[in-house]
Amino acid sequence: MAKITNLLTAAYRINGKRFLHRFRSAPNEEVKRKWQTAMTDLETKGIAIIPNFWTTEACTQARHDFDRLVEDELPGIWKDNTGSDHRIYGFDRVSSSGKTFLQDESIREIKSIYYQAPLDGLDEFAMMNRVEYRPGNLGSGGGWHRDAVHEQQFKAIMYLSDVGEKNGGFEYLENTHRKSSVYKTIAENDIGHSQDRFSPEEMDDILAKHGHLYPRRHITGPAGTLILADTSGIHRGSPINEGRRYAITQYVFRGPAIGGRGVPAAMAPLVLPARD
Ligand SMILES: O=C(O)CCC(=O)C(=O)O
């Protein structure tokens, strides 16, 4: 009975959100053509990889800006419990590298197409983080999760340092951005209708039963590798075993003008205020 209630509640929340979000804007055909493969991967698998999006020099400059702000103890820097993850939410407000990333023309067009929404309807900011090995670290993002359960959630994540298997790369279960995966995990893995975090045991069960449907990707690549993902799909930053991983992420939310709620209330206080 609980399972049926969970399925009905999830269906109600998913479909209500879809109805509210039927705002469309004309896609830019040139961008659509240039990024066609990436857009198709994003839409079908939930994840797309674009190599060499930034130069080594631009990545070095962003790392330098971040390290200087941490060294200067900028107020508002967020840290996880183990001291592994340092984050600046609103990096675009304190670094020109952050601003350049957030304002990138191609990503602007891609997110507008993905959300089928005009850009001025989206609320957004850039977050830069540095993750380093500490015993017991859970990786960037604190373990396997969905950023949203009932609606799509776009993120653009770019590595700013070289990321190999041991450096805490982004992991993603392909196809879990599809709402069918929400229903499937409720029905076959005893997941709650709005559950957005998953224990190691729950992940073992999901992978054992549905690993063939949801291939697990661990993204490695040099500095400048761009990942576009629908993070309503199941993902995490892998726990880091070696070195430091620097990355910058665009957080993008539907604003009130297009039927969304903007930056979530729990996150808003973490974001540095905009500067003139
Ligand atoms: O940085 C990453 O690899 C993933 C981060 C993440 O999942 C999050 O912050 O929600």
Residue 153 lies in a domain: yes
Q: Which domain holds residue 207?
A: 2-270
Helix (H, G, I), strand (E, B) or coil at 219: strand
Report the distance separating Cα 186 and Cα 7, nearest Å. 7
Query: Does 276 map to a domain?
Result: no
Predicted pLDDT of residue 274: 85
CB of 237 shorter than 6 A to ligand 1? yes
Asked if residue 167 has its Cβ within 6 Å of ligand 1, the reply is no
Is 17 a member of any domain?
A: yes
Domain count within the chain: 1
Provide the CATH number for the domain around residue 151: 2.60.120.620
How many angstroms separate the Cα of 213 from the Cα of each of 45, 146, 171, 184, 231? 11, 17, 16, 11, 17
Question: Does the pTM exceed 0.95?
Answer: no
Which of 235, 238, 245 should be mutated for ligand 1, with most atoms under 8 A from CB? 235
Q: Could you report how far apart the first and last alpha carbons of the chain are, in Å?
A: 55
Using the mean position of ligand 1's atoms as its centre, give its distance from the Cα of residue 72 in Å.
25
Q: What pLDDT is stored for residue 209 in this prediction? A: 97
By most ligand atoms within 8 Å of CB, the mutation choice from 88, 225, 232, 236 for ligand 1 is 236
Q: Tell whether 252 is covered by a domain.
A: yes
Cβ 260 vs Cβ 21: under 8 Å: yes
Is residue 275 a part of any domain in this protein?
Answer: no
Question: Which tokens is 210 given?
Answer: 């549905």
Query: Which atom of ligand 1 is the closest one to the Cα of 237?
Result: 3
Using CA atoms of 200, 168, 246, 86 in order, give the dihedral in degrees to the nearest 10: 40
DSSP secondary structure of 148-216: -SSS--EEEEEESS-B-TTS--EEEETTTTSHHHHHHHHHHH---TT--B--HHHHHHHHHHHTTTS-E
The secondary structure of residue 109, as a DSSP letter, is H
Lay out the sheet containing 226-230: strands in order across. 47-50, 226-230, 154-159, 244-254, 122-132, 85-89, 78-79
Whole-number Å distance, alpha carbon 194 to ligand 1 midpoint, is 19
The answer to whether residue 209 sits within a structural domain is yes
Which residue of 157, 176, 225 sits with most ligand 1 atoms within 8 Å of its CB, as the best mutation to test the pocket? Answer: 157
Encode the chain (276 residues) as per-residue pLDDT tens digits: 677 777 777 776 676 555 445 445 556 677 778 889 999 999 999 999 999 999 999 999 999 999 999 999 999 999 999 999 999 999 999 999 999 999 999 999 999 999 988 989 999 999 999 999 999 999 999 999 999 999 999 999 999 999 999 999 999 999 999 999 999 999 999 999 999 999 999 999 999 999 999 999 999 999 999 999 999 999 999 999 999 999 999 999 999 999 899 999 999 999 999 876
Protein residue closest via CA to atom 5 of ligand 1: 141
Specify whether the backbone of 139 is left (phi greater than 0), alpha (psi in -120 to 50) or beta. left
Instruction: State in Å: Cα 144 to ligand 1 middle.
Output: 9
In 3-state terms, what secondary structure has residue 232? coil
Q: Output the CA 143–ligand 1 centroid distance in Å.
A: 9
SS3 content of the chain, % helix, strand, coil (to 5): 35, 20, 40
